[in-house]
Structure 1
Amino acid sequence: MTDILITPDELAALLVDRADRDDVRVLDVRWRLDRPDGRPEYLAGHIPGAVYVDLDSTLAAHGAPTDGRHPLPSPSALQASARAWGIHDGDTVVVYDDLKSLSAARAWWLLTDAGIADVRILDGSLRGWTTAGHPLEEGTVVPAPGTVTLRSGLLRQTDIDGAAALGAATDAVLVDVRAAERYRGEVEPIDPRAGHIPGAINLPTTENVDAAGRFLSPAQLRARFAAAGLDERGAVGVYCGSGVTASHAVVALTLAGYAPTLYPGSWSQWSNHPDRPVETDAVAQP
């Protein structure tokens, strides 16, 4: 796998070179749980040449509640979207957001899983770009259609049964990367049941970045994960509320030298299956 992160200055240099090479695509993936449509912010100011990506409509499918809130899009749907974003085979793709890369990581995971060899996350997000003194442009960017051919299955993922097995295994760790109060079952703002998958530990992915939204160093991440009992040689699964921010944890674990498995359905799928047990404060409930 190529380098995952790119700094604002490195991206600025790529964009200067793009005038001659035209093989760099920048995707604006602004999205928040409480404000999923990031287009107004995109139109008000984005990295020059960046194409807006609607996470809910292009980086997720839509099914029954038992599928979760953000099921993975089909390979054909993702390929159609990638072509609409102007992506060709061999392009370097840079993704960013304004939320510490929490939503950009979803695009990174999907495009990497689909076989794009060089997908980068702008470390520090849009704030890092502007803090470094780089410009924004207003309005929309409509690229010429791309011709990229995608596949799927290059990254590790599991289903609801696999997540249950990871939580129950003695030689694996299942990590819930949501906020601690949701993990403990004290609050649940959107899904039908509160708590976590039995056996899961809690490592909020928001703690994998610094105050500026940059990922911690690989050494810092390794120390954090090792202190929680994660073994680089063992199986590690990750989930969140709906599979979006768990991709962010996949990035952090990969930077630290792990080979994590994503559970895309995450808590939104698990909690919609009444037959699946939940734990709150480490107490199992039927």
Structure 2
Amino acid sequence: MSSVTPVITAADLGAALDAGSDVVVLEVRRDPATIPGAANPPLADAPAPGHIPGAHAVDFAELVGPRTETSGNGPLPEEEQVRELVQRWGISDSSLVVVYSADTPSSASRAWWVLRWAGLADVRYLDGGVHAWRASGRELTDIRPATGGGTATVRLGALPTLDADSAAALARDGHLLDARGAAAYAGSADQPTSGHIPGAYSLPGTDNLRDGYLADDDTLKTLYAPYLTGAPIGSYCGGGVAATLDVLALSKLGIPAALYPGSWSQWSSDPSRPIATGSERG
């Protein structure tokens, strides 16, 4: 895990832009039809028209790789896919890359995670997103920046990941966190493939948020205290999106955590994998 802080405030972003620093801003939007409401609450206010000056428009789907019957809903992008995005957005190895979402915090945290996993050195999540930008007294614009010219090195695998087998092992021997809502974790008798990975703990990704902002460090330390035993930590959710809020929050505390990108959508695609139900870990 990089020693660079994963989070930036609106004030610090504004100062970097005012200073003419090498900053690349990415505004991530996701089709609401693909966002389960319980796992992805909206930001503090409905997004206003416009975007942060200099922000490139990013379709969340651009950060998702090719799906297969066994990949889960949010497979990781391929190397050439990321390289083309980096080139389009004008990212160099020295760039500060700032991601935010006008839709949901987890869309931005997933973008943060993917770009860090792809080897970019300095990627930050804008705390509070566009709401924080406006609350700091800054204006929005409808002008998009020029594209092209990006030369940053892409090396996939810079952050730790889990597959189904290693997620199952971590649930037994470490701390595997389920970032979905409590109802999804418990499962339903009407849905035979619902429930959770046996041994996983329920810790919704939304617990990291307070009115669209990440909770302060003391609150996060209290939230994660039961899992800070020195054993490895990992997180999953429905499709590898909401779980990135757990990874982001832990990274903010200086604690590395692995992501299971396939998450429940991949786990439950194989009927031979065990499923636990109810509020207990199983």
Asked if TM exceeds 0.5, the reply is: yes
Q: What is the alpha-carbon distance in structure 2 between the residues aligned to residue 77 and residue 187 of structure 1?
A: 40
1:194 matches 2:194: yes
Measured after TM superposition, the shift of residue 99 of structure 1 is 4.3
TM-score in terms of structure 1 length: 0.87
Measured after TM superposition, the shift of residue 218 of structure 1 is 1.8
Unaligned runs of 5+ in 2: 36-45
Measured after TM superposition, the shift of residue 14 of structure 1 is 1.1
TM-score in terms of structure 2 length: 0.88
Q: Number of matched residues?
A: 270
**Mapping of 1:1-286 within 5 angstroms?**
1-18=3-20, 21=21, 23-31=22-30, 33-34=32-33, 44-56=49-61, 58-99=62-103, 101-169=105-173, 172-186=174-188, 193-211=193-211, 213-226=212-225, 229-281=226-278
Task: Render the CA deviation track for 1:141-160: whole Å, top value 9, x for unaligned.
Answer: 44233112210222111111
AA partner of residue 180 (structure 2)? R
- Kept in 2, the 8 Å contact 1:100–1:124? The answer is no
Measured after TM superposition, the shift of residue 187 of structure 1 is 9.1
Q: What is the alpha-carbon distance in structure 1 between the residues aligned to residue 277 and residue 156 of structure 2?
A: 35
- Kept in 1, the 8 Å contact 2:175–2:200? The answer is yes
Q: What is the alpha-carbon distance in structure 1 between the residues aligned to residue 160 and residue 154 of structure 2?
A: 17
AA partner of residue 179 (structure 1)? G
3-state SS of paired residue (2:213): coil
Unaligned runs of 5+ in 1: none
Q: What is the alpha-carbon distance in structure 2 between the residues aligned to residue 91 and residue 45 of structure 1?
A: 23
- Kept in 1, the 8 Å contact 2:185–2:279? The answer is no
Distance 1:223 1:282, change over 3 A: closer
3-state SS of paired residue (2:54): coil
| Aligned residues: CA RMSD | 2.4
AA partner of residue 13 (structure 1)? A
Distance 1:245 1:283, change over 3 A: closer
- Kept in 1, the 8 Å contact 2:197–2:275? The answer is yes
3-state SS of paired residue (2:210): coil
Greater shift in the superposed pair: 115-124 or 133-142? 133-142
Distance 1:35 1:113, change over 3 A: closer
Distance 1:46 1:158, change over 3 A: same
- Kept in 2, the 8 Å contact 1:183–1:195? The answer is yes
Task: Render the CA deviation track for 1:209-231: whole Å, top value 9, x for unaligned.
Answer: 112x11112221111111xx202
- Kept in 1, the 8 Å contact 2:235–2:260? The answer is yes
